[in-house]
Structure 1
Amino acid sequence: MIHFNIPAIDQALLPALQAKVDSKTKPLGSLGKLEEIAIQLGLIQQRLQPRLQSPHLLVFAGDHGIAKEGIVNPYPQEVTLQMVHNFLQGGAAVNVFARQHNIQMKVVDAGVNGNLQPHQDLISAKIAYGTKNYREEDAMSLEDCHRAIAKGAEIVEMISQNGCNIIGFGEMGIGNTSSSALLMHYITDIPLEKCIGKGTSTSDSQYKTKVNHLKKVLFNLNGIDLKDYYLLLSKIGGFEIAQMCGGMLRAAELGMTIMVDGFISSIAALIASKLHPTLLKYCIFVHCSEEKGHQALLEYMGVQALLSLNMRLGEGSGIAVCYPIIDSACRFLNEMASFEDAGVSDTH
C-alpha cells in the first residue's frame, strides 16, 4: 500500500497575503472570489508572489463492467474507447478549451476496455480492461485498487518533474456516474436517490430503471466496513476514480494546486480527503455540475465551486473553461498596483 504525507498548509503567511490583497487599488473585497483564490494559491505555494507553471489537465479514462448491461447508461460501453480516440485526435470539447487557454492535456488509459495505439498525448496506465460488474462481484481486487492509486500518484509525480505546479483532474467512462453515486451514498449517508443523476443523456424512464437497478447493488455491500475506503473503492469503484484519487493525493503531497472538475472527479476528491483530510485545502472545485448529487456532495465536503454553468459533460471541460479565472486571480495579486505604488489615496 502506498503512503502519502500531506501536511496541513502553514497559515503563517495569511496576514501578509491578506494585506497585499487589501492594498491593491480597489475597494476591500471587491474582487470577491478572485481574492480568495489568490490567497489560496499563495498559501499553497507559501509565497507572496505565487506563479502558475505549466498547467496540466489529465483525463482519466476507464470502463465499468456494469455498463455492459446497458441498463444504467444509454450509451454502449464502446463509447469510452471511441471518445478516447476523439480526445487524442483533438476533437472533443475539452480539447478545444484546453487549446484556447494553453493547458497541456493528457489522456490516461486507466482501464479502457480496448487497445490503444501509442500517442504523444496518451499515458498508458491500464490496470485491466475495465472493472467487473459490481452487481455480481467486486469491481476490482483490493490489490488492483492499490495499484491504481499508486499509478495515479506516479503519473502526477512525473508531470510535476517537468515544472507543473497546477493540475486538473477530469475523466471519461461510460457508467461512472453510477459508481460515483454509490460511493457518495455509502460515504456520506445521503439517500441514494439524491446521489443518482441522469448521467449522459438519460431519459426519465431510463433514470427510474437506473435507480432501481443500483438499489440492488446495496444488498451486496451489507456488512462491509464503510470506513475502509480502499475496500469500498474496490467493491464499487472504477480504475479512473482510483487513479484520480492517487493523483490528487500525490499532487497535494508535492504542494501542487489541484483543480477538480465535476461529479466524478469530486468523488475522487471525497475519497482522497477521507484518507487525508488536509487534501481539500489544496483543491479548487471549478464548477458545480448539473449532475444531481454534485451540489449536495460539495456541501458535504464544505467547499464551494467557482462557477455554475449548467455543465455536465465531464472530461475536465469545466477545468479548461475555469482556468483563466484562476490565472486572473494570480495575476492581479502579482501585477495590480497598490495604493502606494499608484499614488492613489487609500480610503480603507
Structure 2
Amino acid sequence: MKDTQCKSVAFGLWMLAAFDVPVTAAEPELVEQYGAAAAEQTLIVRSTADISVFAPVVEAFLETRSGLTLIYEQWGSNDLYTQSRAECREGAPVADVVISSGVHQMVKLVNEACAQSHVSRETEQLPAALRWRDELWGISREPAVVIYNQDLVPPAEVPKSRFDLLDLLRPANTPYAGRVATYDIERSGLGYLFAFVDAQEASTFGALQEAFVRTQAVRSCCSSDIIRSVADGRYLIAYNVLGSYAQGYQQQDDRIGIVLPTDYTLVLSRALMIPKGANNGAAAADFLDFLLSPDGRRILRQALLISPLLETEEGAEGETLSSTALRPIGLSPALMVARDQLTRETFLKRWRVTFPGP
C-alpha cells in the first residue's frame, strides 16, 4: 500500500501518549502505525499476532479507508490479558480491538463484561462455536503441530502422532534427550491453552509429561524462538507449535518439517473482541466485518492465519486428516475452567515437575 507508514517503537509510543493513553507497567512488544499520518480517525488494535504476519491484513483493510490511521500493538498473550482486564475494571479502555491466541483469557474478559456486542451479516455467518454472545469472534484457523528438523531427523523417525513421539523418547539412550522443545506454559498463554486442552483430550498427556521429565525436554516462551532453534538444529523436534508460524518459517527455510498429529490435531481460532467503551467502536466493527468478509478471509489465508494445512485452495491439497482427528477449540464458557485460579495453579504445579528449571 503506497501510503503505509511503519514507524519505530518509540514513535508508536509517542503517538499513544498523544492520544492520552496512560502509561502502565505492561507494555507492547512492538508498535507500528499504518495509514495516512494525518487521518481523521485512529483505530488502535492490540494483538498477539506478530506484526510481520498481520501487516498485509492491516494494509488490505486500509486500502479503501484513506481517512483512517491504524496503530498496531504487538503483545504477549499474558500481558495483553492483564492489561485489558485492568483497563476494563478501571472503565478506561485504550484499545479499540483486542485479538489474542489466548482464547481462554478472552472468554474470561467477555464473561466479566469487558466487551461490547456487534451483529452483522458477516458475524452471523460464523459457526456457533466461533461466536459467543455476539461479543467474541474466532477469526483464524490454525493447527497445533509437531515440527522437526528435516536434515537431522530420519524420515522413519518423524513422529506422525503422540504415540510416535513417545516411542522416540522411550529408549534409555534416545538421541532426542534434551532436544525436544515445547512452549513454556507459564510465560505463554497459548502454550498454557494447548497443554490444558491436551490434558482433557489425550490419554497420552501423562505419558508425555513423564517422557519430557525423563529426557529433559526444553521449554521456550515463543513460537519464533522454538521454530528457529529447530531449524538450526539446537532442538530436533518441537511439540504443540502454532502451525501458521511454522509454515511461514518453512517457506523461507526448508529445514523445517511440519506434522499434523494423526491421533488428533488441535485447531485454534484467534479471538477478537471490541472492548466496552472503545473510542472508535464503529471502525472496530468495520475491521471485524472485513476480517470475516471474503476479501478478509482471502488475505488471512495468504498470511497463513487460515491454514492451508487444513484446507484445499485452488486445487492444492493440504495435509488431510479425518474429521474426527481435527479438534477445534471453540469459544465457550467451558474455557473458563482453564482460568479458574485453583485449577490453573494445580495444573502449573504438575507442569513445574515436568520442567523444574529456573
For the criterion TM > 0.5, the same-fold answer is no
Q: TM tier, shorter chain?
A: under 0.3
